[in-house]
Amino acid sequence: MKQASNAHHTTPDDDCITRQKRSFSPSRRMIGHIAIVGAGIAGLSAALTLHDAGVPCTLYEASDRVGGRIHSATHWSQQQSAEWCGEYIDSDHSTILALARRFRLPLLETHHAHGEDTGIKYQLLGRSYTFGELTRSFQEIAPRVLEQYHQIDPATTWDHYTPMAAMLDHMSTYDWIERYIPDGHASPTGMLLDTLYTTLYGVDTWEQSAMNLVTYLGYLLAHSPQSALSSSIDVSYRIAGGNQRLPEAIAASLPEDAIRLRHRLVAIKRHANDRVTLTFDTERGFQDISCEYALLTLPFSALREVDYRKAGFDTLKQKAIAELGYGTNSKLILQFDARPWQRIFQNHSFQSDRLQAIWEATTGQQGEGGILVHFTGGTKGRLYAPAAPYTTTNEPEHADLLRHYARDTLEQLETLLPGLSDHFTGKAALSYPTGDPFIRGSYACWLVGQVTSFCGYEGARQGPILFAGEHCANEMQGFMEGGAQEGVRAAREILRDCAVSVEQPL
Three state DSSP letters for 383-415:
CCCCCCCEEECCCHHHHHHHHHHHHHHHHHHCC
11 contacts 456 by C-beta, under 8 angstroms = no
Query: How does residue 18 score in pLDDT terms, banded at 50, 70 and 90?
Result: very low
- Does residue 103 register a pLDDT over 60? yes
- Angle subtended by helix axes 245-253 and 94-102, to nearest 10: 60
- Does residue 8 register a pLDDT over 60? no
| pLDDT more than 90, % of the chain | 78
d(CA 246, CA 71): 9
What is the domain class of 120-230 according to CATH?
Answer: mainly alpha
What is the domain class of 34-69+244-324+458-498 according to CATH?
Answer: alpha beta
Can you give the pLDDT at residue 427? 98
d(CA 264, CA 214): 38
Q: What is the pLDDT of residues 108-131, one digit of tens each?
A: 998 655 445 556 678 898 888 887
Please state the rounded mean pLDDT for residues 475-493. Answer: 97
Query: How does residue 14 score in pLDDT terms, banded at 50, 70 and 90?
Result: very low
Please check if 62 is assigned to a binding site: yes
Nearest to 451 by CA among 98, 139, 167: 167
Residue 168 has, within 13 A of its CA and on its CB side, a CA count of: 30
Query: How does residue 224 score in pLDDT terms, banded at 50, 70 and 90?
Result: confident
Q: Which residue has the higher pLDDT, 220 or 401?
A: 401
- Does residue 2 register a pLDDT over 90? no
Please state the rounded mean pLDDT for residues 234-240. Answer: 87
Query: How does residue 232 score in pLDDT terms, banded at 50, 70 and 90?
Result: low
Q: What is the pLDDT of residues 359-403, one digit of tens each?
A: 999 999 999 999 999 999 999 999 998 999 999 999 999 999 999
Please check if 375 is assigned to a binding site: yes
d(CA 129, CA 123): 6
Please state the rounded mean pLDDT for residues 257-271. Answer: 98
Query: How does residue 6 score in pLDDT terms, banded at 50, 70 and 90?
Result: very low
Can you give the pLDDT at residue 121? 78
Query: How does residue 277 score in pLDDT terms, banded at 50, 70 and 90?
Result: very high
- Give pTM, 2 decimals: 0.92
Can you give the pLDDT at residue 10? 37
Show the DSSP H helices in 53-130 as ranges: 94-102
Average pLDDT, the chain: 90
Which residue intervals of the chain bear CATH 1.10.405.10? 120-230
Please state the rounded mean pLDDT for residues 474-483. Answer: 96
Burial of 322: CB neighbours in 10 Å, binned 0-12, 13-18, 19+: exposed
Which residue intervals of the chain bear CATH 3.50.50.60? 34-69+244-324+458-498
